[in-house]
Amino acid sequence: MAATLITNVAIFDGTGAAPFPGEVLVEGNRVAAVAKGGERIAADGATVVDGGGATLTPGLIEAHAHLGFGSSVGRVLRGRGQTPEQMLLITAHTAKVMLDYGFTGAYSAGSHSAPAETALRDDIDAGWLPGPRLRACSFEREASAIAEGSRRTYTGFEHRPPDVEGVRAFVKEMAEIGVDSVKFVVTGDNSIAPNTSHLVLYHDVELRAAERAADETGVWLNAHAHSADAIKMVLRNNFRVIYHCTRPDDEAIDMLEARKGDVFVAPTVGLNWTNIYDDPNYAKRDDGAALREQIEKLEHLSELMPKLHRRGIRLLPGGDYGFPTNPIGKNAHDLELFVTLFGFTPAEALTAATKLGGEIMGMAGELGLIKPGYLADLLLVDGDPLRDITLFQDPDNLLMIMKDGKYHQPPRPRPRPRDPLNGVAQRRLKEHAE
């Protein structure tokens, strides 16, 4: 069995504890031993990697992956009309980009094609394609969505009768294809159609049918839900992942806390931030009303998410990356936003992207920590991410990317001593000063 001994590193093990000097032995695809301080692990023929004092962390895990959205750093996808064959190749490319940027795991929040996503997952697992460990998802099932020209609008559930059998059939069809989770768009979205984020699109009885079908078929349920009524509805029906979770009232927050051991929330702050600061066209939409709504939403989330965090609700980075203005490869920006907007410490943000990532993947006990018996998904980072959480945004700072005990990026020696803050952080400081 091939073995690698990684020495002379500061180890952030994913638990949230401070990094400690040590060594890590990898045998096969798992961590075999971890030494702290002056402890030493016998090499016994293992290949030795000198980390040069860099920081060793678990691989990052994206909680809101949209590999099929298509846009990635260096390859922005503008316009639609791609064939299924083209989209499959584009999605395979975005999977590689995600791994290039240190994301060794991805929990999908919706695919362009369930068969394509399950095929991609299986080929990645078999080692034929580079990419993160993937939990595959159905496409995003909408209800009461109506196309109006190039945009969609929504009507509430009260304008149509319940379609219980249609919901059950959808869950079962997706399960037969082989997805790990099924996603329902339970509210509208102001970014797509103005003034629809509070509009509930499903009858309660439909989501109850989805829960029963999910139990029967063994898949998880994910929800796109903004409003308090929608959040409470999906909680009553045992949905596992809530995306956005923008406007919970006090009752909904209490319900979230009561189920904090089996519910995950990904607020998707990355796209919200991008719409405001990185998309010059967004300000032109609806005579500026769309931008004003996004600014108010970001301010609201900056007050809400610290409250949820204090309640112990599991909040995970995952900012809807994959749009042209928010391409895959920028996913680690969410870690910075969790710190600067939500009041997380860098250690808490990184724990959310590693330990909690292992949990949302359904792999608690073997993924997301540097611990004996855990899968060897590891990053070697040039610098201390607890001093500068933006380090993950530049792939040049990733001196090694290991997934499943194998190198995606073989170890590189550390460059000359660097400034305490990297280029991204220096730019942020400069922008703030201006």
Q: What single letter denotes the amino acid at residue 25? A: L
Residue 359 lies in a domain: no
Q: Residues 6 or more apart from 323 whose CB is under 8 A from it?
A: 69, 71, 271, 274
Residue 345 lies in a domain: no
Residue 358 lies in a domain: no
| Model confidence pLDDT, tens digit, residues 89-119 | 999 999 999 999 999 999 999 998 999 999 9
Residue-level pLDDT at 287: 84
Residues 309, 164: one domain?
yes
Last residue of a domain, one of 284, 304, 331: 331
Split into its structural domains, the chain has a count of: 2
Residue 271 lies in a domain: yes
Residues 380, 312: one domain?
no
Last residue of a domain, one of 331, 356, 387: 331
Residue 29 lies in a domain: yes
Residue 137 lies in a domain: yes
Residues 49, 68: one domain?
no
Residues 94, 177: one domain?
yes
Q: What is the CATH number of the domain that holds 83?
A: 3.20.20.140
| Model confidence pLDDT, tens digit, residues 244-297 | 999 999 999 999 999 999 999 999 999 999 999 999 888 888 888 889 999 999
For residues 420, 425, 430, 433, the Cα torsion angle rounded to the nearest 10 degrees is: -90
Give the separation between CA 340 and CA 293, rounded to whole angstroms: 20
Q: Which residue has the higher pLDDT, 50 or 417?
A: 50
Q: Residues 6 or more apart from 288 whose CB is under 8 A from it?
A: none
Residue-level pLDDT at 430: 46
Residue 94 · residue 67 · CB < 8 Å: yes
Q: What is the CATH number of the domain that holds 370?
A: 2.30.40.10
Residue 102 lies in a domain: yes
Residues 99, 127: one domain?
yes
Residues 383, 320: one domain?
no
Residues 279, 414: one domain?
no
Residue-level pLDDT at 148: 53
Please say if the pLDDT value at position 33 is more than 80: yes
Residues 319, 418: one domain?
no
**β-strand pairing of 55-58 with 137-141:** unpaired
Residues 226, 265: one domain?
yes
Region of 57 please: left (phi>0), alpha (psi -120 to 50) or beta: beta
Last residue of a domain, one of 331, 353, 384: 331
Domain span including residue 424: 3-58+366-433
Residues 324, 378: one domain?
no
| Model confidence pLDDT, tens digit, residues 175-207 | 999 999 999 999 998 888 888 899 999 999 999
Residue 357 lies in a domain: no
Residues 114, 132: one domain?
yes
Mean pLDDT in the chain? 93
The whole model's pTM is what?
A: 0.94
Give the separation between CA 19 and CA 382, rounded to whole angstroms: 14
Residues 136, 9: one domain?
no
Give the separation between CA 361 and CA 332, rounded to whole angstroms: 18
